[in-house]
């Protein structure tokens, strides 16, 4: 399963992209507004940074205007994926843009019938909103699983992009449900990388490393020798205790 980051905050994208785990970015009008940046400017900066699929959403509700906006947005960068709402107008725009060779991400999906319609309209990605489905008392991960199963049974190539991810468990569940992509908020990425046992193990390693003669936890190995008689480590890395 590929990882996208769901934000338009460039500093957040830069940090997570440095980990080497990102395949793309998703944005929406609300995220663009939150960034406080010009739409085209921020999308261009993100696309140059990540170099993967970058979803940029239209802001019209009318098919003709969606199509015109989508064609314009697609010229901003070769990695742009035009994001469209799952409405009759959005499906119409999806078909026209797909036929023009433009990649699309149909968003605000909350049911399997909607996902099947988007696939027939040629969507490159479908974005079911797991967290928002959970909010109304249904199971968002079951929705992702059912959409994926329907696509597999129908030989459909549209990628299932799990959206509205709220916590690391959602990421695991989406992967097990067969999602092709999960788009994850910055906060959840920072939660995913942490585990108390990882930190405890690292603290122990650094404490032992600091026992080298003349060394501290921050001293590089090249700048401090070892003193086996002082209870350090041997040059081969074995403990003297």
Q: Which residues are catalytic?
A: 83
Q: Is the C-alpha dihedral spanning 118, 119, 122, 124 positive or negative?
A: positive
Question: Could you tell me which of 136, 84, 73 has the C-alpha nearest to residue 109?
Answer: 84
Which residues touch 135 (CB under 8 Å, ≥6 apart)?
A: none
Q: How far apart are CA 7 and CA 4, in angstroms?
A: 9
What stretches of the chain adopt beta strand conformation (E)?
Answer: 2-6, 22-26, 53-57, 80-85, 104-109, 125-128, 159-162, 181-184
Between strands 181-184 and 2-6, the pairing is parallel
Angle of helix 168-176 relative to helix 140-154, nearest 10 degrees, comes to 20
Judge residue 197's burial from the number of C-beta atoms within 10 Å of its C-beta, 0-12 exposed, 13-18 middle, 19 or more buried: exposed
Confirm if 105 and 79 have CB atoms less than 8 A apart.
no
């Amino acid at each position: 399963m590929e990882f996208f980051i769901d934000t338009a905050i460039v500093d957040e994208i830069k940090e997570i992209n440095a980990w080497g785990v990102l395949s793309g970015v998703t944005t929406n009008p609300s995220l663009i507004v939150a960034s406080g940046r010009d739409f085209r400017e921020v999308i261009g900066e993100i696309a140059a940074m990540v170099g993967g699929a970058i979803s940029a959403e239209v802001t019209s509700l009318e098919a003709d205007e969606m199509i015109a906006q989508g064609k314009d947005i697609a010229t901003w960068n070769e990695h742009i994926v035009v994001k469209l709402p799952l409405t009759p107008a959005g499906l119409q725009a999806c078909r026209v843009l797909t036929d023009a060779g433009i990649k699309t991400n149909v968003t605000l999906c909350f049911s399997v019938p909607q996902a099947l319609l988007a696939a027939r309209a040629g969507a490159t990605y479908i974005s079911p909103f797991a967290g928002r489905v959970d909010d109304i008392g249904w199971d968002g991960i079951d929705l992702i699983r059912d959409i994926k199963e329907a696509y597999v049974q129908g030989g459909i190539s549209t990628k299932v992009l799990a959206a509205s991810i709220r916590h690391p468990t959602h990421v695991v569940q989406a992967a097990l449900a067969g999602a092709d992509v999960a788009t994850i908020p910055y906060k959840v990425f920072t939660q995913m990388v942490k585990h108390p046992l990882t930190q405890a193990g690292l603290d122990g390693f650094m404490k032992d490393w600091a026992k080298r003669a003349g060394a501290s936890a921050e001293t590089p190995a090249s700048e401090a020798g070892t003193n086996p008689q002082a209870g350090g480590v041997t040059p081969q890395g074995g403990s003297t205790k």
